[in-house]
Amino acid sequence: MTESDLRPRIEQIVSRISRIDASEFHDDVLIREELGIDSLMAMEILATCEKEFDLQLDEAEFSCVETVGEFFQLLEARYAEQRIAG
Amino acid sequence: MRILLVSPRGEFLCRSEGFAEFMQNSREMRTILHFWNGIGVALPTIAALTPEGHAVEIIDENQEAVDFDGRYDLVGVTAMTQQAVRAYAIADAFRARGVHVAIGGIHATVMPEEAARHADTVFVGEAENSWPQFVTDLAHGVAKPVYNQADFPPVDLDRTPVPRFDLLAKYRYPVIYVQASRGCPHDCEFCVASNVYGRRYKFRSVERVVDDIREAKKHWKFAQIGFADDNLFASRRYSRSLVEAFSAMRFSWFGVCDISVAEDEVFLEALHESGCRTLLVGFETTCEENLRQLDKNQWKLRQFSKYPEYVERIQSWGIGVYGSFILGLDEDDHETPQQIIDFINRNNLMGAQITILTPFPGSRLRDRLVAEGRVIHDQWNWYTVWNAVIHHKNFSPEELESKLLEIYQGVYNPVSNARRSEYFGRVCRQLVNRRASDDERRAESTGA
Ligand code: B12
Ligand code: SF4
C-alpha cells in the first residue's frame, strides 16, 4: 500500500469513530473547533490507525495537529518512515 | 405579533481573580469551556409551540446583544437562577418601552412573586400547554398575570413539536441540547428539578427524539448532541431503543446518568456504538456521611463502594466519565479538597466539574440553610456554583473559593493531564484490540 492509498482508509476510520461523513474531511477544516472531535475520539482514532497500519503514534504529536490536512500528513509521514525503517 | 425570546447573558466565572487566570492559562479548562457552551432547549421549544401567524425571533445574549429598540409586541425571557438579575434588567427595559414581557424557566417557577415585579406575565413550571394559550389570550387582550402548569393537563412530551432550531442557526454552537425525558423521582437536597418538572418520569418517543436530532443536525453538521435530561437512562428499556436508533445515525453525543449504567456491559458497548462519548455522573462527594445526608433514599450511598470499578468499566468502552462533585457539604473539612483530587486522579476520570454547594431557591437545602442562618445573600448573579454564598462550619466563603481553585489545579495540571492522556491512550488501544478479536471470533463462527 502506498501513502496515497492510505488516505481513504484513514478517512473511513475517522468517519466511523467521529460519526461524521468522510465527504466533510477537507484539508483546511479544523479538527477540534469545526469537526468537534474531542480528545477521547482522537485517541480512539490514533489507536485504530496504529493497529490498522502497524504504526507507533505519539499523542503529544497529535496535540499539535490543528487541521484535517495536517492529520493526514502526520499519518502519511509516520507510515513512510515505518516502511523505510521496516 | 412580533415575538422576541431571550436567553439572558450568563455568568460562568468565579469572582476570584486566581480562578480567572487559571481558566485563561489552562488549555484543558479552555477546552471545557468550549464544549460547556450552548443554549437550553426551552426557547426553541417555546418558539415551536407558538400558534401560527406570529413572527418569532430568539436571541442568546451570550452570543449577541439585544436591541431594546427593536419593534416587538411580546418579549419572553428565560432564566435559571444565575441569569435572573440580567433577565429582570431585560424585562424592565422592554416594559419601560411598553412591550408586554413574559418570564419563565426554573427561577421564575420557584420565585414567581419576585419575577412578577419585572414581568407582565409569569410562567410557573413547564410551558408546553400554557404558552399557546397565553399567546392566544394576549392577542385577544386578555392575558393573565400568571400561567401555572398545575392548572393545565399534564405535559405530554410526544405532543411537543420539534424545537425551532432554525431560529438559532445563526450561532455556531459546539453542542446542541435536546431532551428525551423529564422528571426525577429522587429528592436530592440541593436540587430543584423535581419541583419544576415533577417526580414522575415522562418520555418523548424515540421517533420524536430522532426527529429533533435530525432537525438539529440540519443546522449544525458537526455539533455534538447534549441531552438536557437529568437522568437519560432512567428507564433501561427506553434507553436501549433510543441507543439502537442512534446507532443508525451519524452523530456523537453525551448525557447525564447515574453510575448504575456500568452494570450492563452489553448496553455500554451499544452506547459506544451509538456515538456516546461522554457520560456526566453526579458523584457529589467522596465522603460517605455526606452522601447519607444528601439523598433521602440513600441510593448513592449504596453505590459508593462500587464507584472505582464502575468508572473503570464505563471508560474501558471508550466512554469518558465526567464526574460532578460538590464542595461545602456539611461534613467537608480540610481533608476534603485533596480527597476529591485523589478520587478524580486515581480513577482517571476524563474530567470533572466541581462546584460549591449553592442553596438554589426552591430546594430543600435552601430552607435548611436559611433556618440555620447560613445563606449569605440573595444576589442571584453570584449563584454560579463557583462562588460561595454560604457559611460553612469548617471554611470561610473565601476559603471555599480558594479550595475550589485548588481542586481544579490538582486535577488539571501538566502531570495529571499527562497521566490521564496515557491512561486513555491505553484504554483506546485495549478497546481496539478487543474489537479486533471480537470481529475475528465473529468471522470464524460465521465461517467467513
Ligand atoms: C443546557 C444546560 C446548560 C447549557 C446552556 C445554558 C443556557 N444559558 O441556556 C450550559 C452547558 C451552557 C449550561 C451552563 C450552566 N448551567 Co445549566 N443546564 C442545562 C440543562 C442540562 C438543560 C436545560 C434545558 O434545556 N432544559 C430543558 C428545558 C425544556 O427545560 P426548561 O429550561 O426548564 O424550560 C421549560 C420551562 O421551565 C419553561 N420555560 C423556560 N424558559 C421559559 C421562558 C418563557 C418565556 C416561558 C414562557 C417558559 C419557559 O418552558 C420550558 C418547557 O416546559 C439544565 C438541566 C435541566 N434539567 O434543565 C442545567 C441547569 C439549568 N444549569 C444549571 C447551572 C447551575 C448552570 C451554570 C450556572 C453552572 C455551571 N457552571 O454549570 C452554567 C452557567 C451558564 C451560562 N453562562 O449561562 C442548573 C440551574 C440551577 C438553578 N436552580 O438555577 C441546572 C438546572 C442544572 C442542575 N440540575 O443543577 N447549562
Ligand atoms: S440531583 Fe439528579 S437525581 Fe437528584 S433530584 Fe436532582 S435530578 Fe434527581
- Is B399's pLDDT higher than 80? yes
Helix (H) or strand (E) holding A33: none
In whole angstroms, what is the distance from residue B417 CA to residue B366 CA? Answer: 36
- At a CB cut-off of 8 Å and minimum separation 6, what does B279 contact? B254, B255, B256, B257, B261, B271, B314, B319, B320, B321, B322
pLDDT tens for residues A20-47? 999 999 999 999 888 888 888 999 999 9
Structural domain boundaries in chain A = 3-85
For residues B20 and B43, give the distance between their C-alpha atoms in angstroms, rounded to a whole number.
30
Residues 6+ positions from B328 with CB-CB distance below 8 Å:
B356, B357, B388, B390, B392, B395, B400
pLDDT at A86: 65
Alpha-carbon distance B272 to B269, whole Å? 5
What's the CATH architecture for A3-85?
A: Orthogonal Bundle (1.10)
Q: Is residue B448's pLDDT more than 60?
A: no
Which ligand has the minimum distance to the alpha carbon of residue B354? Answer: 1
- The span from the CA of B410 to the CA of B416, in Å, is 8
Q: Which residue of A has its CA nearest to B315?
A: A40
- What residue has cell string 464542595? B327
Q: Tell which B residues from 327 to 356 touch A, by Cβ distance under 8 Å.
A: 350
Q: What is the pLDDT of residues B223-254, one digit of tens each?
A: 999 999 998 998 889 999 999 999 999 999 99
CA distance A13 to chain B (A): 12
* Pocket (CB within 6 angstroms of ligand 1): B 7, 10-12, 36-42, 45-46, 76-78, 80-82, 102, 104-107, 123, 126-128, 131, 177, 179, 191-193, 196, 228, 230, 360, 384-385
Is residue B188 within 8 A of residue B285, CB to CB? The reply is no
Count CA atoms within 13 Å of residue B17 on its CB side: 0
Listed range (A46-55, B195-204, B231-240, B340-349) with the worst mean pLDDT = B195-204
**Which range has the top average pLDDT, A2-6, B392-396, B433-437?**
B392-396
Locate B412 and state its grid cell.
488539571
**Local confidence band at A1 (pLDDT 50, 70, 90 cut-offs):** low
Classified by CATH at the fold level, domain B2-14+40-151 comes out as Rossmann fold (3.40.50)
Q: How confident is the model at residue B289 (pLDDT cuts 50, 70, 90)?
A: confident
Q: Give me the mean pLDDT over the B391-410 stretch.
A: 96
Complex-level ipTM = 0.87
Rounded to a whole number of angstroms, the CA Rg of chain B reads 23
Question: What is the number of the ligand 1 atom nearest to the C-alpha of B227?
Answer: 21
Return the bridge partners of B222, or none. Answer: none
Residue B443's CB is within 10 A of a number of other CB atoms, namely 10
Question: pLDDT averaged over chain B?
Answer: 93
Domain ranges of chain B: 2-14+40-151
Residue nearest to atom 2 of ligand 2 (CA): B230
The partner residue sitting opposite A44, judged by closest CB among B222, B250, B318, is B318
User: What pLDDT was estimated at residue B187?
Assistant: 77
Cα(B174) to centroid(ligand 2), Å: 26
Taking one residue from A and the other from B, the number of pairs with CB-CB distance under 8 angstroms is 67
Residues of A in contact with B222 (CB under 8 A): 20, 24, 34-36
Q: Return the pLDDT at B167.
A: 98
Output the pLDDT for position B234.
Answer: 86
A39: CA distance to ligand 1 center in Å? 26
What is the model's pLDDT at position B140? 96
Do residues B136 and B51 touch, judged by C-beta distance below 8 A? yes
CA dihedral B161, B162, B166, B168 (to 10 degrees): 90
Phi, psi of B6, rounded to the nearest 5 degrees: -125, 135
